[in-house]
Amino acid sequence: MDIHPDLRQVEFLIGRWVGRGSGFYPTIEPFEYLEEATYQPAPGKPHLEYRQRTRNAFTGEPLHSEAGYLRAIGPGRLELVIAQPTGVVEVHTGGLDGTHLHFRAVAVVCSPTAVEVTDVERHLEVLGDELSYRLSLAVPGRGLTPHLEARLHRR
């Protein structure tokens, strides 16, 4: 695979990942979901294209999707930009420690009709062919609170 040299540090993330997750938040009923995520290099560019889709674990009904870019901006330094069809856009800075990626939003922008989100934090870790992640988010009146956890396997 021909990838930009700056992406060598996150090459372990490239591929298609499939698995199961759990969602929870103080204001909603807990739920389980199935997920597919892909991280693909853009030819000659120092970024990975990211796409994610989830379905209800019991009915198969579509739940959420998002797309964006993971940008390598220097050794151990990353940026993540994500857009969601719910009207939320996240811009993150982050770092890399081995195969653990940590991102914290520097900006969250919501369309006029979106549910207001004020902060997001994402942790991803790859061990062999397993990717696990945790996502926390904040809404007005509530600080960062755990929301999603999943384990995905490389396909």
| Burial class of 126 by CB neighbour count within 10 A (0 to 12, 13 to 18, 19+) | buried
The pLDDT of residue 5: 95
d(C-alpha 4, C-alpha 120), whole Å? 28
Domain ranges of the chain: 5-154
Q: Report residue 146 CA to chain centroid gap.
A: 14
Model confidence over 97-155: pLDDT tens digits?
999 999 999 999 999 999 999 999 999 999 999 999 999 999 999 999 999 999 999 99
| Burial class of 9 by CB neighbour count within 10 A (0 to 12, 13 to 18, 19+) | middle
With b meaning 16 or more CB within 10 Å and e meaning fewer, what string describes 70-85? bbbeeeeebbbbbebe
Tokens of 102: 């940590």
We find that the CATH architecture of domain 5-154 is Beta Barrel (2.40)
| Burial class of 54 by CB neighbour count within 10 A (0 to 12, 13 to 18, 19+) | buried
The pLDDT of residue 2: 81
Phi-psi region of 26 (alpha: psi -120 to 50; beta: other; left: phi over 0): alpha
Percent of the chain residues past pLDDT 90, beyond the cut: 98
1, pLDDT greater than 70? no
Rg (CA), the chain: 15
Model confidence over 45-77: pLDDT tens digits?
999 999 999 999 999 999 999 999 999 999 999
Q: How far is CA 94 from CA 33, 72, 141, in A?
A: 26, 10, 25
Task: Indicate yes or no: pTM above 0.85.
Answer: yes
d(C-alpha 73, C-alpha 93), whole Å? 10
Tokens of 92: 């993150």
25, pLDDT greater than 80? yes
